[in-house]
Amino acid sequence: MPIQYYIAFAATLFCIGVVGVLTRRNAIIVFMCIELMLNAVNLLLVAFSKMHHAAALAGGGKNVTTGVEGQLFVFFIMVVAAAEVSVGLAIIVMMYRNVHSVDVNFLNRLKN
Amino acid sequence: MNAIITSAVCGVIMMFSSVFVENKKTYRHIAAVLLLLLLAVNVADTYGIRLFHIDTKGMLLFDRFGYFFNSIAIASTLIYVVLTGRDIEKVGTYTAEYFVLIFFVLCGVTILSSYNTLLMLFLGIEILSIPLYILTGADKRNLKSNEAALKYFLMGSFSTGIMLMGITLIYGATGTFDIYVTPKETITGQPAIVYSLLESAGLILMMISIGFKVSAAPFHFWTPDVYDGSPGVFTSFMATIVKAAGFIAFIKLFDARADASGVEANAFTGVDWKMLFAILIVSTLLIGNITAVFQQSVKRMMAYSSIAQAGFMLFALFSLNDVAKEGLLLYAAAYSLASIGIFAIMVKMKDHTFEGYNGLSKTQPVLAATNTIFLLSLAGIPLTAGFFAKYYMLASVMKTSGYLWLVIVGVVFAAVSVYYYFRVIQAMYFKDGEATITEEVSKGFKVGIIVLAGLIILFGILPQSLLQWFYF
């Protein structure tokens, strides 16, 4: 499949994530949208990695490792995302204990 | 390399000290000793004494600039811990863990000052950010702290997502994560225009995401709430060392990209980067300074002032020459030291509004006098470090022809900033009131804060005393 399809698909997923973050008010859903953005990136990274690998093979190389780093990056994103989830959910739970709500705007209203 | 590994190890040592040491007061002494060790190790590294021989395969590149910034960051953290260690103890019950997280943030800072691939940039930013999310929410029972942590976390990971998209697009265009590379080298079948488009889009996304991290307008909206909501001692850390590290990451990336294309920075990948940065600078200066004028609380004023100061640091990104790099180091030192001093005094105050400072000069003459020096430095008055910092920034823009108007805008907003800094001085010296502090300040704190003020005046009279270490 041509790379353009992957770019378009990943861009769509990414935009859904961005719009979700900007419009939704539930902290957990905002959080899910951020994960969606990260997964769009993962997908695109793997596609680019394949593309660069194929280009290197077509260039005449045998057993080339071009493009491996793209897939390696995906693992790092997964690890960091897991670390972020653990901290983020802890923060959301901390907030829930105090105000019994996970609404992002709830605290704003409380202040006024 | 010394600093990266040592800071992580120091964090682990701190963690274990919380198991074995019962006395709460010991933690800050342990932290200060470890920071001193970290500073020594980093200075040794600068002079070529390597403790660890690790082949990073070109992922990390250690240069004088990075070492020097590490030293500034570690020394500022040391001063921060010595001055405000007692207040860190008061935030919550997990004193040792706060110091652990500070060490992990420092690990991220040292990675950011030496990264050479986008992978390390990403890891550095995350290692820096994740401990900060926790520190922001350290005051667990306080709703404002909760809100700050949630907001900071959501905005932080959102900007991480944007940065990753940027990195991916750059990878797609260049086929590598190295920051020094030209798109032209790696064209593979597709027309060149597609690649330069991908790379420009990627770089713009990176610019947005690091703009979030250093709170440049229009990506600054989380800053006031987060800085206001989080415990004062951690605001101090966030607004100074961490922000300066963000700028180091920023300038390294764009400096490399400007080098890589082998032409003037404004020609790379077809986008007028100078203009983009100019817009970023003007809007940051405008929003930061104008909103700071209307604040009623010193803490919130400092949040907006940190946005305004970020606007000045962005001048270095705009001009990207040697003066700018030197100036950024001087600015990072001057701004960090002055802000740490102001926050250290602020967390001692009972009332954080301007009225709370009324008559401080009568009750606490030492605190009022040193606070005045810090505020003057932030305003950029001559004989303080802030003056030369601003001077270097504007001088770097002067070297870029055709942007004199930007210098004028900078000077005008520096004048505006004098207003809100002087409001605090006015409250301290010329208004009557009973400024109360939460507890009697110790002699050690007074000595520390006088030394800090002395440093700021020293750098203000002899900026070379700091910068000569850069060349020695």
Distance CA B295, CA B303 (A): 10
Please state which of the ranges B100-109, B193-202, B292-301 shows the lowest mean pLDDT: B193-202
**Do the Cβ atoms of A45 and B171 come within 8 Å?**
yes
Q: What is the pLDDT of residue A11?
A: 94
Asked whether the beta carbons of residue B158 and residue A70 sit closer than 8 angstroms, the reply is no
The partner residue sitting opposite B133, judged by closest CB among A52, A87, A104, is A87
Q: Provide mean pLDDT across the span B193-200.
A: 72
Residue pair B140/B91 in contact (Cβ under 8 Å)? The answer is no
- Reading the block at residue A47, the tokens are 């596609």
Our CA dihedral for B247, B252, B253, B258, rounded to 10 degrees, sits at 120
- Over 90: is that where the pLDDT of B454 sits? yes
pTM for this predicted structure: 0.93
Q: Would you call the peptide bond into B365 cis, given omega within 30 degrees of 0 as the criterion?
A: no
A77, A88, A95 ranked by CB distance to B164: nearest: A77
Q: Which residue has the tokens 């700028």?
A: B247
The pLDDT tens digits for B406-415 are 999 999 999 9
Each residue's pLDDT tens digit, B123-160:
999 999 999 999 999 988 888 899 899 999 999 999 99
Q: How many CB atoms lie within 10 A of CB A72?
A: 14
Which among A3, A48, A83 is the nearest to B171, CB-wise?
Answer: A48
Quickly state the pLDDT bin for B92 (edges 50, 70, 90): confident
Lowest average pLDDT, out of A26-35, B59-68, B188-197, B296-305, goes to: B188-197
Nearest chain A residue to B125 by CA distance is A80
Contacts of B177 in chain A (CB under 8 A): 69, 73
Q: Hey, what domains does chain A have and what are their CATH numbers? A: 3-111 (1.10.287.3510)
Q: How far apart are CA B250 and CA B246, in angstroms?
A: 6
Residue B196 in tokens? 């330069």
In 3D space, the residue among B295, B292, B296, B320 whose CA is nearest the CA of residue B220 turns out to be B292
Alpha-carbon gap, residue A66 to B214, rounded angstroms: 34
Cα dist from B309 to A59, B280, B303, B339, B389, whole Å: 50, 13, 10, 11, 11
Q: What is the pLDDT of residue B214?
A: 92
Question: Which of the four pLDDT bands, split at 50, 70 and 90, describes residue B187?
Answer: very low
Cα–Cα distance for residue pair B430/B301, rounded to 1 Å: 20
Task: Give A45→chain B minimum CA distance, Å.
Answer: 6
Does B363 reach chain A within 8 Å, measured CB to CB?
no
How many CB pairs below 8 A link A and B? 119
Q: What is the pLDDT of residues B259-283, one digit of tens each?
A: 655 444 334 456 677 888 899 999 9
CB contact under 8 A, B150 and A52: no
A48, A52, A87: residue with CB nearest B134:
A87
Nearest CB to B150; choose among A52, A70, A95: A95
To the nearest whole Å, the CA of A20 is away from the closest chain B CA by: 11
Which chain A residues are within 8 Å of B188, Cβ to Cβ?
A: 51-52, 55-56, 58-59
B137 at interface of A, judged by CB pairs closer than 8 A: yes
Q: Does B23 touch chain A (CB under 8 A)?
A: no
Confidence of residue B191 (pLDDT cuts 50, 70, 90): low
- Neighbouring CB atoms inside 10 A of B243's CB total 23
The pLDDT of residue B55 is 87
CA distances from A54 to A61, B188, B308 (A): 10, 10, 48
State phi, psi for B191 to the nearest 5 degrees. -65, 145
CA distance B273 to B280: 10
Alpha carbons A58 and A99: distance in angstroms, whole number: 59
Could you tell me what percentage of chain A is helix, strand and coil, using 3-state DSSP and rounding each to the nearest 5?
A: 80, 0, 15
pLDDT of B265: 39
Cβ–Cβ under 8 Å, residues B287 and B248: no
What is the reported pLDDT for B263?
40
pLDDT band at B60 (very low <50, low <70, confident <90, very high): very high
For tokens 């600068």, the residue is B46
- Chain A contact present for B202, CB below 8 A: no
Helices B443-461, B64-91: axis angle to 10 degrees equals 150
Q: Looking at the complex, does the CB of residue B147 fall below 8 Å from at least one CB of chain A? A: yes
Residue B70's pLDDT band (boundaries 50, 70, 90)? very high
pLDDT over threshold 60, residue B230: yes
- Our CA angle for B419, B396, B286, nearest 5°, is 35
Query: pLDDT tens digits for B291-344?
Result: 999 999 899 999 999 999 999 999 998 888 888 888 999 999 999 999 999 999
- Looking at residue A59, its pLDDT comes to 78
Nearest CB among A31, A87, A98 relative to B130 is that of: A87
Among chain B residues, the shortest Cα distance to A28 is held by B154
Q: How far is A62 from chain B (nearest CA, A)?
A: 17
pLDDT digits (tens, 9 = 90+) for A44-78: 999 999 988 888 888 777 777 888 899 999 999 99
Asked if B126 lies within 8 A of A83 by C-beta distance, the reply is yes
Angle between helix axes B365-379 and B385-398 (nearest 10 degrees) is 0
pLDDT, residue B359, reads 86
Is B122 close to A80, i.e. CB distance below 8 A? yes
| φ/ψ (deg, to 5) at B406 | -65, -40
DSSP B437: B
Residue of B333, B455, B450 whose CA lies nearest to B74:
B333
Q: What percent of chain B has pLDDT over 90?
A: 57
- Residue-wise pLDDT tens digits, B386-437: 999 999 999 999 888 788 899 999 999 999 999 999 999 999 999 888 878 8
